[in-house]
Amino acid sequence: MNIWDKIVYEYSKGNSAIRQIIIVNLAAFILTILIGFAARLGGFSAGSILEYFYIPSNIGTLLIRPWTIITNVFFHADFWHVAGNLVLLFFIGRILEDFLSNRQMWTIFISGGIVGALLFVVAFNIFPEFHVVVKTKKLLGASGGVTAILVATGMFLPRYVVRPFGLFDVEMRWVALFFVFRDLYMFPVSQNTGGLFAHIGGALFGVIYILHIQGKLGFNLPDFSTLFPDKKRTFKPDEVHLRKENIAKKNKPNQEEIDAILDKISQSGYDSLSQHEKNTLFKASE
């Protein structure tokens, strides 16, 4: 197996959207490192190339670089920037991924990042506070998409219990609210105002998308269905249960056992299941 086949294998393994998103972000970060290395040897500025991946606040520049609306979501400024986003994505994203499809997870991440980036552009062109820097400011990072997934998890699984650092139990709704209010609190004093706009935009999309899949919106949202396969098991949008028709098939585990497992998920979260219960649930969803 050559290197490319290995990369494709790792990307496709488990058909996990979170795994795929992390791999794409790491690939973009490696590209950033390679461009920086080449720039040092070639005597030119890495920023002169990388700026073509970052979304500019200047609308004129954005019009000739429209691809940056998407590419900015996958590029990061430094190691701690990418590490912080991907660690949060890994721990929170895996929770929601157990209940939504691969397509839905990609939609939340990409669309949340795009909405956050566009809010950044609009805000920097509307508010007088930013007129001095509007021609030079740029935005990059997966924060908008990660925040969208974080808030979507809090909306879809509000009573799902997590245990940060193994210290205490807290429901996902309070985790999501903590991050949202942290951004609002930091807004007046932060030097990264553009990033905070991206967070706010991502959070808004996370809320809107969950309301959408729960049938509480009167309009449709993009789902990137032609770009990403949708092979994962999917839970009902309005409750944390597997579709009844999927678990009543022939040669599947006992219906009463499945219902008991689903009730346990609703009360205590997916992580409370034993390995046997997880295996039983997986077989039922095949």
Per-domain boundaries in the chain: 3-213, 244-285
User: pLDDT grade, residue 138 (50/70/90)?
Assistant: very high
The pLDDT assigned to 177 comes to 94
Q: Is the pLDDT of residue 131 over 60?
A: yes
Tell me the C-alpha to C-alpha distance, in Å, between residue 157 and each of 171, 267, 268.
9, 11, 11
The helix (run of H) or strand (run of E) holding residue 129 is: none
pTM of the model: 0.76
Mean local confidence (pLDDT), 184-198: 83
Burial class (CB in 10 A: 0-12, 13-18, 19+), 248: exposed
Check residues 44 and 230 and name the one with the higher pLDDT. 44
What is the percent of the chain with per-residue pLDDT over 90, rounded to a whole number? 49
Mean local confidence (pLDDT), 227-241: 49
Q: What CATH architecture does domain 3-213 belong to?
A: Up-down Bundle (1.20)
Q: At what angle do helices 102-126 and 17-42 cross, to 10 degrees?
A: 50
Q: Is the pLDDT of residue 139 over 90?
A: yes
User: pLDDT grade, residue 222 (50/70/90)?
Assistant: low
Mean local confidence (pLDDT), 2-9: 71
pLDDT in tens, 11-69: 777 678 999 999 999 999 999 999 999 999 988 899 899 999 999 999 999 999 999 99
- The amino acid present at 238, given as its one-letter code, is D
User: Which residues neighbour 99 within 8 Å (Cβ) at sequence distance 6 or greater?
Assistant: 156, 157, 234, 235, 240, 270
Q: Is the pLDDT of residue 154 over 70?
A: yes
